Amino acid sequence: MADFELPGPILFGPDEITFREEMFPSHDGVRLRTLFVFPNTPGPVPVIVQRSCYPGQEEGIRKAAMAYAERGFGYVLQMCRGTGGSEGVWEPNVNDRADGLHLMNYLNAQPYVRVMGYHGASYLSFTGWIMADAMPEKVKALYLTVYGTDRHTSAYKDGLFRQDILTAWAMDNAGHPVTADYLESAAFRPQIEVDTALWGGELSWYRDWISHTSRTDPYWSQGLWKQLREIPEKVKIPVFLVEGWYDHHLGSALNGYCALNEETKGHSVLKIGPWNHGFQPAISGHPAQQNGFSTGEADMFRWFYDILVKGEIPEKKIDWYVIGEDKWLSLPEYPVQAEKTAAFYLGEGGTLNGPAEAATALSTAEGTRSYIYDPANPVPSHGAESLFKSWSEIGSLLQPAMNSRPDIVSFISEPLPQDLTILGRPAAELYVSSSAEDSCFTFKLMEVFENGEAYNIRNGITTLAYRNGAPDRLTYTPGTVEKIRIEAWDVAWQLKKGSRLRIDISSSDFPEYAVHPNKAGVWSMIRETETARQTICYGGDCPSRIILPLA
């Protein structure tokens, strides 16, 4: 048996399975290296298809192919053009729709193929999504994980670029070796020149990513990215979507799920566990929990077996893992409609006043907390959900003490009188001002256990230029107090009775996000930076607060 665990009976031994490689000509004659793994049987079989740009994953995919073939499936792996022995030039994203559909239509016409399913994770999921609306009739199901179809959300949060995934990915997938230091590259200014200055050649596609900050920019609303964003509503077959609470594609993936048409959504699955991008538990403050381990390989096999072999039509399902409670919760709909909310207000002396103290907090005279933000000395990312290159910093991690740096201000609540389950998107509503013409603010929400240890739940960031979800850049007058809302990604997290809530507010989170230069304009074009005095207002007419959606 292959070294790959799957449920289901083994029907074929190793000597009854054929491996065959072929340089398969694509639609324009470019030959793509394609692996066919099939059991030796005369009848047509269900077939699993995958397209990859990562040669380093081939050994694992071969093991998966063998395990599926032992159970009566055919398996086809094709390497994207310019990668893994395929001919052509590697251009990320550009050729995958045409190349993929050419392969799928070819397989659809073969008599040895009865039905098909397509699967992939991360970029391999993109190769499925980008053609999901045009699959031939033998394709009956998709299993697409840790990837989203809203590219702007994958790239930006309120004007700040997600560097730890996309700058790092560009360096690793430049089409030529890049030996430059990653953190030096991420901090380079102006970023628009980093490719020629440090990476050995211009990457036009990376320059496109980092120079189009506004959601309404035509770059995101035409061509490939427009097509990808609009595909979910056109998909007509069931989709199993898997995400992690600490995967950098979570926000984009949830947007993709929402975009599915209602008929398809009625037969699709959305599953979110306490995982990072590699499906590993990322909740170090809850190490003894037992139900948060990924069962993805078994889930995928059962999904394809039930649909492709048994001919079943799946039912709609939304399963979320609740961190802290160690259980799975089935939801009727997404987005979640919170049963109630709880607000915790910033107060004097670094207090965070919960519902019972809210009236007192709001009646107090307005106060302020200020700090100096220097872009040359950003707060390092530690415990976050939009990281990839900085692997050791992903997830819910033990946090430093309150006010651990001069440019971090902390607020903490009294012990909670009862358990509270956060279900949905936590948000910070802050009244702020800056001495700069543009700047940014961050918040990090934490649970402080009774032993004093604090672990991050969610974080968020925004800029004054893109405050309150503005799709285009706004102006800001230095020194003016503005109300800003920073919305974090969804989470399911049970706060324990006796724990405290803590938030840290700052103005940088590097390299999760690009360092804001405290100047107006396109971040990647700015060469110089300046320091800024940042002020958080609270109490009185400035009711700065944290809002928690509760189950």
Asked whether residue 346 falls in the same domain as residue 408, the answer is yes
Asked, for residue 294, whether it belongs to a domain, the answer is yes
Question: Between vectors from CA 490 to CA 485 and to CA 496, what angle results, nearest 5°?
Answer: 100
Q: 335 and 424 in contact (C-beta within 8 Å)? A: yes
Asked whether residue 269 falls in the same domain as residue 411, the answer is no
Asked whether residue 206 falls in the same domain as residue 347, the answer is no
Over residues 27-53, mean pLDDT: 97
Other CB atoms within 10 A of residue 496 CB: 15
Q: Could you tell me whether strands 420-424 and 491-495 are parallel, antiparallel, or unpaired per DSSP bridges?
A: antiparallel
Over residues 75-87, mean pLDDT: 97
Asked whether residue 127 falls in the same domain as residue 31, the answer is yes
Other CB atoms within 10 A of residue 120 CB: 21
pLDDT in tens, 412-433: 999 999 999 999 999 999 999 9
Instruction: Classify residue 450 by its DSSP letter.
Output: T
pLDDT in tens, 346-400: 999 999 998 766 555 555 568 999 999 999 999 999 999 999 999 999 999 999 9
Listed in sequence order, the residues at least 6 apart from 429 whose beta carbon sits closer than 8 Å to its beta carbon are: 483, 484, 485, 543, 544, 545, 546, 547
**Band of residue 2 on the pLDDT scale cut at 50, 70, 90:** very low
- Residues 239, 144: Cα–Cα separation, whole Å: 7
CA distances from 46 to 113, 251, 285, 304 (A): 6, 33, 43, 9
Asked whether residue 189 falls in the same domain as residue 238, the answer is no
- Residues 189, 514: Cα–Cα separation, whole Å: 11
Q: 194 and 188 in contact (C-beta within 8 Å)? A: yes
Q: At what angle do helices 163-172 and 204-211 cross, to 10 degrees?
A: 170
Asked, for residue 8, whether it belongs to a domain, the answer is no
DSSP symbols for 251-318:
HHHHHHHHHS-HHHHTT-EEEEESB-TTS-B-BTT-TT-STTS--HHHHHHHHHIIIIIS---PPPEE
Other CB atoms within 10 A of residue 339 CB: 11
- Using alpha carbons, select from 120, 126, 121 the residue that is nearest to residue 93: 126
Asked, for residue 359, whether it belongs to a domain, the answer is yes
Asked, for residue 157, whether it belongs to a domain, the answer is no
Burial class (CB in 10 A: 0-12, 13-18, 19+), 336: middle
- Residue ranges of the alpha helices (H) in 339-444? 358-363
Asked whether residue 87 falls in the same domain as residue 124, the answer is yes
Other CB atoms within 10 A of residue 511 CB: 26
* Length in residues, the chain: 551
The type of residue at 130 is: I
Asked whether residue 92 falls in the same domain as residue 238, the answer is yes
The overall average pLDDT reported for the chain is 96
* Residue 457 confidence (pLDDT) above 50: yes
Residue-level pLDDT at 365: 64
Q: Is 486 helix (H, G, I), strand (E, B) or coil?
A: strand
Asked whether residue 175 falls in the same domain as residue 125, the answer is no
Residue-level pLDDT at 1: 33
pLDDT in tens, 490-542: 999 999 999 999 999 999 999 999 999 999 999 999 999 999 999 999 999 99
Asked whether residue 18 falls in the same domain as residue 137, the answer is yes
CATH number, residue 371: 2.60.120.260
Asked whether residue 387 falls in the same domain as residue 460, the answer is yes
- Using alpha carbons, select from 534, 479, 545 the residue that is nearest to residue 368: 534
Residue with tokens 């953190």: 183
3-class DSSP string for 180-203: CCHHHHHHCCCHHHHHHHHHCCCC
Query: Which backbone phi and psi does 204 adopt, to 5 degrees?
Result: -65, -35
Q: How many independent structural domains does the chain possess? A: 3
For residue 178, the enclosing domain spans: 162-211
CATH number, residue 82: 3.40.50.1820
Asked, for residue 327, whether it belongs to a domain, the answer is no
Asked, for residue 6, whether it belongs to a domain, the answer is no
Residue-level pLDDT at 215: 95
Over residues 183-201, mean pLDDT: 98
> Six-digit token pair at 421?
């389950």
Asked, for residue 216, whether it belongs to a domain, the answer is no
Residue-level pLDDT at 127: 98
Asked, for residue 344, whether it belongs to a domain, the answer is yes
Maximum Cα–Cα distance for the chain, whole Å?
82
Q: Look up the pTM and report it.
A: 0.95
Listed in sequence order, the residues at least 6 apart from 13 whose beta carbon sits closer than 8 Å to its beta carbon are: 70
* Residue 92 confidence (pLDDT) above 60: yes
Asked whether residue 377 falls in the same domain as residue 276, the answer is no
Asked whether residue 474 falls in the same domain as residue 507, the answer is yes
- Residues 422, 429: Cα–Cα separation, whole Å: 17
